Structure 1
């Protein structure tokens, strides 16, 4: 639970999901536009500056990633994943009718609206920083510290196991946490089945797009998006309600609720991007019909004039010239409409290199559920793919997942569980709040180091092992799930780099959508993004402790003034001091948060 502090989206980020760039040895490639549910809280104020840099970075990432492993060659040329440029229609001639001019202005408005509402992430083949197949990682001057860290973790666990054997006669000690997770009646099987059903129910979003928006002609900007939001709200309420109904322990609840949040983000991105494309598709079909009618009119006039007998009178000559002028204007209008149709067709293709994948051909069961298992929460028509699955690599990540979970359980059992039970006992004895608060400093000191270790391990578990495993078995080539967040000098940088998949989601669907839909400025959009992330994290804390206290919400919102402070003359250009302040927050945040929820 501590890992949720300071704006981190801890669980199930595609227990699921769930970035880009390398620092001292990292081949990044990435969803260039970046959001996250807490990571999200992207320093969205700098997102516009990043987009240009990411375009150039993506080329470097592609070259570096292709040299890493032969099996990570994209199935399509890397250039196909750069941001598409719609064909520019010709300028409207002065003789063009006012109707054609208004069509041109409306088309420009549509393109501007798209680029404000939907930033286009740049997915490129890449590897994560700590991936052993990444040549930049092995050549890093800090490579030895990585080895030292895991050797220290191994020896630390050996010591815990030895102490447990000496005191309890087994390496697991009293193993209350394991009993909570796997003892009979704890419904591990029910949890797995419920999770599968939950993932399957995301298909309702596909039904909404195909059956409601596309076939029944419901306008997405009218009532379509309302239907989508009603479904998402009901889905999330059902997820939380199911955990309460089953009475699951906090381990089951955290996994299920966080995975539910991930599924909601996936459905939202799928629904709103396809909903936007549905508007373009309907507009294009309408323009095609108009072109057909205009062309038929021109042909009809041409046939009529060809059978008309020659007449040399002045009146007939004037009529003929007037008719030719109208025909010329009609042809110009047809050409203008065809140009707009081409631009809309290009927009409907998105990043797809094959026209057969363009909207609405993408609205298939296979496409939807393939996206559901991808380690990303930002929907696109096409992603960079690898050519084959490295079975040994996948097994390595799978073993690493279970190994890290075992280490986390050992640390929690030895150092965190006793402190938690101490607070439970104090409350059972009706100890006054003032007396319990006297134990707060000691509790904080007892928890700070174990929580720091759990914090690092849960990050590595999700963003380095689980997401890489999902990427490998789904042929997903863009592995930029994080950046060098350990070098952060400010909290906005941390929000961008810690959890890139979620950051990209929030940047596209919360930050930019707030600006587009509500016409707010960047600062207000940033506040909305941080606030939404904080509320979701507070919901998770309520599911764990069954207490609505707002401690995590307050801590996350405190990142905003800290971001402003980092840009003042006292901290600007002082990287070491900024990094120290950042690590101080990481060290103290989780333990302070847990202590507050336990004592109060």
Structure 2
């Protein structure tokens, strides 16, 4: 809720803000948590107004008093400030729900143009001292695939068996149709954002629960559908993983747009209060105009002039020498209000309309573009931020802060910053769905052109690597699946190396082929989908580096939101690990058809392992930590396979 205030000057007392928000369909200025009613008693004497609120006790037969009751909705507490001339300002304490939607959380995840570590266009790729080993690795895999295929042909007469292929070829058209339906259902996010844009319902606390209910229903429907179709583990695992990815995408889209919608409508309400306050303190008797425009242009220009005088620290002569250019700059260029030209045109004469509309249009373009200086964008402050009236100045600064939160983190392809709700379109959502990221932003860095040769390179690399994965799975993993009488140690030794190689190849296909292909097709410039996870010294470092899209989502929408909701860093980390572990176990339960909790236990076991990695001796010996990390991966994959099959 915007600041409300009361003032006592001389022998009179009057409220300084005549409009007090009591909540509406679009939500109160701060999210509704509780209601607090404050009764402010203002004496007709000036010194009494300086007393702190709540400490005055009227004397029997004493001075005449004026009582004003102000109801603040959506706050657990109030703070007050006594200023010059007896000005008393009441401010509701900002709730944690309001704080969580600021730019600080959005700034945790940034997008800048960069290449992935294994991309041959990486600036350090040509100078990497280990680049020859990468070539050797692929040659060795190619020879292994040829040797395996030749052995299979010599013994069975087939170069490659189609046993593994039946796991993802059966009912393939229904799977593709189901996946297309899943993607189409996500476009409900756009009407969701349009409802928020129009202010029919507030995001918090109403629509956020509808969002979670819809996401839960979507996941439940997919799980039931996979069970009904009785798909093999490859198909059911693929659809489940893709569903979780889509859920993270739509959650980020709704959360960002929901927070911005609440801030947008709060800014609009503050703009109304600011105009009412300017009209109230204006010397112009005709300052108030009505619902179409709350304050006249002359009163607004006078308020801007006072703010400029206060900012410059000197009085400016109100005469013919006053520069018309400076007046226009103060009253038009810096007047960041929505639909300014339309509001002004409604009250101007036909002779004044063209000039005023041109001025407002030019001001809007300049305010939107800002002043670019390299990578730094400097925007003009609100014109009334330095106004001598503290209520006007506070409202103007609050509006300016909210306006900054509604801007995109970076410029678009035209070099302009996008402001909410300009991004709420079907085209923008479709572009976001195609971009290889799980975190929504109004704009992303883009490359200038799509390189067809690069797309062909990534497509061929993905297909070729998948063929290697197929051969390894067909000849080195499936024949050695454990049976009831098979010794566990024998199965472990047979599966450890091929499963580790498959893990590395699947990582390459996903992050260096598929995501890079999608990035090039959408001209998405930030290709850093992973970091040097192979050098990890602990499992928490591995979880941060090996899958940056998921890590960025968890960082912004789980870890950071838990902290802003009042949780400590340790509790927020526990929530993040718990959610990640539950989702991993959900996938394994659908793939294996069993609920055993093995993967969940291994995921949660990372927490004590993280504590061990913080021991000074371990930190001083990074090789020991890295060796422990690799041993854990070698043991984990085959043991999970054995556990879910046998037990």
TM-score by length of 2: 0.69
Q: How far is 1:111 from its partner? A: 5.4
Q: Give the conservation status (yes or no) of the 8 Å contact 2:103–2:405.
A: no
CA deviation map 1:309-333 (0-9, x unaligned): xxxxxxxxxxxxxxxxxxx998442
Q: Give the conservation status (yes or no) of the 8 Å contact 1:116–1:512.
A: no
2-structure distance, mates of 1:178, 1:170: 14
1:205 aligns with: 189
2-structure distance, mates of 1:341, 1:99: 20
Q: Give the conservation status (yes or no) of the 8 Å contact 2:480–2:491.
A: yes
Residues 473-484 of structure 1 mapped to structure 2, 5 A cutoff: 473-484=521-532
Between stretches 504-513 and 130-139, larger displacement belongs to 130-139
Q: How far is 1:297 from its partner? A: 2.8
2:167 aligns with: 180
Q: How far is 1:161 from its partner? A: 0.6
Correspondence for 1:282 among 256, 265, 268: 265
Q: Label 1:93 to 1:191 Cα distance change in 2 as closer, same or farther (>3 A).
A: same
Correspondence for 1:454 among 492, 502, 516: 502
Q: Give the conservation status (yes or no) of the 8 Å contact 1:291–1:337.
A: yes
> Within the alignment, does 1:349 sit opposite 2:338 as a pair?
no
Q: Aligned to 1:102, what secondary structure does the other structure show?
A: strand
Query: What is the count of residue pairs matched by the alignment?
Result: 466
1-structure distance, mates of 2:85, 2:104: 29
1:493 aligns with: 541
Correspondence for 1:250 among 228, 233, 247: 233
CA deviation map 1:46-69 (0-9, x unaligned): xxxxxxxxxxxxxxxxxxxxxxxx
CA deviation map 1:361-406 (0-9, x unaligned): 1111011111111100011111100011000100111111111111
Give 1 or 2 for the bigger CA radius of gyration: 2
Correspondence for 2:453 among 374, 381, 392: 392
> Within the alignment, does 1:124 sit opposite 2:112 as a pair?
yes
Correspondence for 2:514 among 460, 466, 470: 466
Correspondence for 1:365 among 411, 426, 435: 426
> Within the alignment, does 1:444 sit opposite 2:492 as a pair?
yes
2-structure distance, mates of 1:346, 1:488: 38
CA deviation map 1:13-58 (0-9, x unaligned): xxxxxxxxxxxxxxxxxxxxxxxxxxxxxxxxxxxxxxxxxxxxxx
Kindly report the root-mean-square deviation, in angstroms, between the aligned alpha carbons of the 2 structures.
Answer: 2.3
Q: How far is 1:233 from its partner? A: 0.5
Q: How far is 1:209 from its partner? A: 2.1
> Within the alignment, does 1:510 sit opposite 2:549 as a pair?
no
Q: Label 1:301 to 1:510 Cα distance change in 2 as closer, same or farther (>3 A).
A: same
**Of Structure 1 and Structure 2, which has the larger fraction of its residues in helix?**
1
2-structure distance, mates of 1:581, 1:379: 36
2:367 aligns with: none
1:47 aligns with: none
Correspondence for 2:632 among 582, 585, 588: 585
Q: Give the conservation status (yes or no) of the 8 Å contact 2:529–2:548.
A: yes
2-structure distance, mates of 1:97, 1:414: 86
Q: How far is 1:127 from its partner? A: 0.5
Q: Label 1:109 to 1:245 Cα distance change in 2 as closer, same or farther (>3 A).
A: closer
Correspondence for 1:147 among 131, 135, 140: 135
2-structure distance, mates of 1:268, 1:534: 19
Q: Aligned to 2:638, what secondary structure does the other structure show?
A: helix
Q: Aligned to 2:620, what secondary structure does the other structure show?
A: coil
1-structure distance, mates of 2:510, 2:503: 11
Q: Label 1:244 to 1:303 Cα distance change in 2 as closer, same or farther (>3 A).
A: closer
Q: How far is 1:175 from its partner? A: 2.2
Q: Give the conservation status (yes or no) of the 8 Å contact 2:387–2:393.
A: no
**Of Structure 1 and Structure 2, which has the larger fraction of its residues in strand?**
2
Q: How far is 1:189 from its partner? A: 1.8
Q: Aligned to 1:138, what secondary structure does the other structure show?
A: coil
Q: Give the conservation status (yes or no) of the 8 Å contact 2:101–2:260.
A: no
TM-score by length of 1: 0.74
Correspondence for 1:553 among 577, 596, 600: 600
**Unaligned runs of at least 5 residues, structure 1:** 1-91, 305-327, 427-435
4+ residue runs over 3 A deviation: 96-101, 105-113, 115-120, 298-304, 328-332
Which fold has the larger relative contact order, with Cα–Cα distance below 8 Å and residues 6 or more apart in sequence?
1
